[in-house]
Amino acid sequence: MGKLTLLREAVPAAPGANYVDILQDSTDPFRIKAIDSRGVVHTLSRYTGSDNFLYNGDFVLRQRVAAALTNFTGSTTARVYTADRWGHTTGNATTPQYQQVDTNAAPESNSGPRYYGLWKQLTNAAKICLSQTLPANDCLELRGQKVRFQVKLRKTVGADKTVCLGILQLTSAGTVDTMPASFIPAFNGAGVDPTFGTNLSLIAPDADKLDNTVVSGNKLTCAITSAWQRFSGVFTLPSNFKNLAVVIFTNDVLAASDDLAVSEAGLYLGQDIMDFGTREYIDALARCQHFYAKTFAIGTVPVQNAGINTGEEKGVAGKAGAVANAGIIDWRFPVPMRITPGVTIFNPAAANALMRNLTGAADMGATALTAQLDASAMAIATGVAATAVGDQVGLHFTADAEL
């Protein structure tokens, strides 16, 4: 039986022919490395693609929006969610667009996952910022550590442009897991960093171990073309931050119809460039449902009047006539939510927020929510004259627990 000795020292000399030396790099303590007889260093990491601290880095999930290039209502200060966990903020209030691009039928060179996210500035020129905030439970273990933020980027329309990568900290002055409502109070002009919200501060990137990027102030700049390229850099994180958020923002003002495509987004512990790995779909879905869940089919955008038997929760009327508490529906969330969520209800068969009597093909009366906890939500409806005991009732729900 042999044994493996991990050395906390500088890289040793190359071993003899047919041998490999294994060590733990003293300057990168979360990696185990091997040096072969040619002097080539190989990383044997306990962190893999599944240890990506970002959610939905392959853009497989988009519970709030359609897959096709579609308008959505933008915000000049807040984060509007398109792909799950990815917030979008724009410097111009004109309607932007999002598309989940599927490469299944048309593979793209240097892009591995099936999907990527595409954000387009629809009409007026504007800068944009994409962001993902990490809850304290997911990131406080990174305090004082070095991490690598890496992503693949390209554009499909417009001139080549400069895009910036950064990591924001919610500083010790902030309240844990509480992001400012005004995430970007001011975008500022071309070449000037956005003004981020209260207690949000960009962390300066390290000057070395850059990957197709240049350090500029407290961000990394990337020269974007029509070809997919990987961009990344290392950040030494403060020892007292409350939360982290990765940001991708345009240094240039996007012209009307200009776009930005994003793929293979990852945040990894340590300094090494990582091969991107997708999560098992059911794992990726459960992680995102911790922040946002719905009764609609995963690929269906939540709307009133989506149709009967489209995934709505169902129950049975327990009282007849126009009496209180005639219809009750309890929705158990797919996974426990991060906090007690904001819940919205949708009538599956009419353009209102009333519980639907599916048996009688008519709406119930006033419908209210109660017992909203991190595990479930309950809707209670008053009956109408035609309500009968045993009538089947239905209602769609969404639950939002984003930071």
Query: How many percent of the chain have pLDDT more than 70?
Result: 92
**Phi and psi of 96, rounded to 5°?**
-90, 180
**Mean pLDDT across the chain:** 92
Nearest of 268, 249, 271 to residue 260 by alpha carbon: 249
Per the DSSP assignment, residues forming a β-bridge with 149 are 233, 267
pLDDT band at 99 (very low <50, low <70, confident <90, very high): very high
pLDDT in tens, 343-396: 999 999 999 999 999 999 999 999 999 988 999 999 999 999 999 999 999 999
CATH of domain 50-279: 2.60.120.260
Q: Residue 2: which pLDDT band, with cuts at 50, 70 and 90?
A: very low
Span 255-277, average pLDDT: 96
pLDDT mean over 216-238: 98
pLDDT in tens, 23-36: 666 666 556 777 77
Residue-wise pLDDT tens digits, 116-129? 999 999 888 999 99
∠ CA 78-79-82 to the nearest 5 degrees? 145
User: The whole model's pTM is what?
Assistant: 0.88
Distance, in Å, from the CA atom of 360 to the CA atom of 390, rounded to the nearest integer, reads 11
Structure-token pair, residue 230: 């990987």
Higher pLDDT, 40 or 324: 324
Q: In sequence order, what are the residues at sequence separation of 6 or more whose Cβ sits closer than 8 angstroms to the Cβ of residue 186?
A: 194, 195
Share of the chain above pLDDT 90, in %: 85
Question: Which tokens sit at 99?
Answer: 């598309």
Residue 127's identity, in one-letter code, is K
Read off the pLDDT of each residue in 288-310 and give the average, rounded to a whole number: 97
Q: Is the pLDDT of residue 174 over 90?
A: yes
Question: With 60 as the cut, is the pLDDT of residue 37 above it?
Answer: yes
Comparing CA positions, the residue from 243, 245, 240, 237 lying closest to residue 175 is 243
> Tell me: the pLDDT tens digits for 191-213?
999 999 999 999 999 999 999 99
Rg (CA), the chain: 25
Q: Looking at residue 34, what is its pLDDT?
A: 78
Give the integer Cα–Cα distance in Å for 402 and 383: 34
80 pLDDT above the threshold of 90: yes
Please report the pLDDT score of residue 5 as a whole number.
54
Per-residue model confidence (pLDDT) at position 370 = 92
pLDDT at 48 over 80: no
